[in-house]
Amino acid sequence: MKNLTILGSTGSIGVSTLQIIEAFPDRYKVVALSAGKNIDLLLKQVERFRPKIVAVATEQGAERLSAGLKGLDVQIVCGIEGLIQCATCHDAQMVVAAIVGAAGLVPTMAAIKAGKDVALANKETLVAAGSLVMAEVERQGCCMIPVDSEHSAIFQSLAGQRKEDIRRLILTASGGPFRKHDLEQLSSVTPADALAHPNWDMGQKISIDSATMMNKGLEVIEAHWLFGVPGEQIAVHIHPESIVHSMVEYWDGAVIAQLGVPDMKTPIAYALSWPQRLPLEQKPLSLTQAGSLTFAEPDLQQFPCLRLAYEAMEVGGSLPAVMNAANEVAVEAFLQQRISFLGIPELIEAVMKRHHPEQLTTIDRVLQADLWGRQEARNLIDGGLK
């Protein structure tokens, strides 16, 4: 029996994780949950899985949760301190880090410092503070297992291989809903358009990131830190069918890939059960029915967010954290229709150009860079950036 904490239990990854746990009650037990503002769903999750401790974003949320859980023996906490309590829960052996955005950094780092294994679905943690996070993983001797389908595919394709034999990591990308749009068409994209991903069911923020291809840029930086491979050895291929989840190319010409139907339950289950595999009731992949699998180079003029991510990774230091912070503000502003779709990369690039990168030596320095990026982005929006 493996005891689990789930950070971000009401998001898409959290919900899928709980569905897997429910299917294998003899293998997994939930000891802690955290969520933001979706108290109604969290109430149902707590009643079903009976964790020992639950964290919510606000005191008001904690009061609502407490009122709905009368009679249940559960500790209710809130805010960042509550998240840290869940992440470091004594009974937990693994923490599923599924909080979206930079908000996941502090509790994920707390889990690592407490020696917990981490199933990582929060790519922003490594984007903002990759060097500090991976150094702590090594120091504590814990495992960090990727949940993102692309990084899980690379993790599986590297099994039994030597790092020095890697020629390239090849991340695949669906291209999102606008891969065939020109710049004129992209200029009129609405939030509803951008949220309609053709292959994956994701939350709002990740869906917008996929549409701009910033999601793939963040994944490039995440892969750099997870696998210790320099940026020039990490490529992106547009693969609209979303069957090949990523590949590793070796110096002898061999390419090893992981394939499967586009369903996040597979990489989540692998992270929970590694090095074993769970007998999921998944629809099997039929390559004969899938038909042709196509691949193409990404257009960096059409999707400049991917270019910006490579640039931030190359410069390093505080710039990736600033880029990520500006992106989160830009996505929120786009969803509120305060800036256009093309205004997202324009805002991010403007913030990056105003930043003077510095070396990151502590998590506090990362948080300061994140705060600076957010404030600069908001100032630009308030100043009239469209």
The 10s digit of each residue's pLDDT in 201-244 is 567 888 899 999 999 999 999 999 999 999 999 999 999 999 99
**pLDDT for 202:** 64
pLDDT band at 180 (very low <50, low <70, confident <90, very high): confident
Is the pLDDT at 198 greater than 70? The verdict is: no
Q: Is 3.40.50.720 the CATH classification of the domain at 2-146?
A: yes
pLDDT at 351 over 70: yes
pLDDT above 60 for 137: yes
Give the C-alpha separation, 385 to 351, whole Å.
12
Cis peptide upstream of residue 275 (ω within 30 degrees of 0):
yes
Q: Which residues contact 236 (CB under 8 A, 6 or more apart)?
A: 170, 171, 172, 173, 216, 220, 298, 306
Which residue from 239, 220, 213, 98 is spatially nearest to 168, judged by alpha carbons? 220
Rg of the Cα atoms in the chain: 20
Cα distance between residue 217 and residue 305, in whole Å: 7
- pLDDT at residue 142, rounded to an integer: 96
pTM of the model: 0.93
Flag whether pLDDT at 356 surpasses 90. yes
Can you tell me the mean pLDDT for 347-375?
Answer: 97
Residue 199 — pLDDT band, cuts 50, 70, 90?
low
- Report d(CA 237, CA 171) in Å as an integer: 6
**What is residue 34's predicted lDDT score, i.e. its pLDDT?**
96
Output DSSP code: residue 125: H
252-290 confidence digits (pLDDT tens) = 999 999 999 999 999 999 999 999 999 998 889 999 998
Mean pLDDT of the chain: 94
Q: Give the pLDDT score at 201.
A: 59
pLDDT, tens digit (0-9, with 9 covering 90-100), for 288-299: 998 899 999 999
Residue spans of the domains in the chain: they are 2-146, 148-303, 316-386
CATH of 316-386, one of 3.40.50.720, 1.10.10.60, 1.10.1740.10, 3.30.70.360: 1.10.1740.10
The confidence score (pLDDT) of residue 256 equals 98
Among 79-88, 128-137, 247-256, 283-292, the range scoring the smallest mean pLDDT is 283-292
Amino acid 282: pLDDT: 86
**Confidence (pLDDT) at 375:** 97
pLDDT in tens, 169-179: 999 999 888 88
Residue 277: its pLDDT value, please?
Answer: 96
Q: How confident is the model at residue 200 (pLDDT cuts 50, 70, 90)?
A: low
Q: What single string gives the DSSP state of each residue in 3-56?
A: EEEEESTTSHHHHHHHHHHHH-TTTEEEEEEE-SS-HHHHHHHHHHH--SEEEE
142-160 pLDDT per residue, tens? 999 999 999 999 999 999 9
pLDDT of 91? 96
Quote the pLDDT of residue 196: 79
pLDDT at 176: 83
Mean pLDDT of the region 303-308: 96
> CA dihedral in degrees (295, 296, 300, 302; nearest 10)?
-100
Residue 320: predicted pLDDT: 98
Residue type, 136: E
* Confidence (pLDDT) at 197: 63
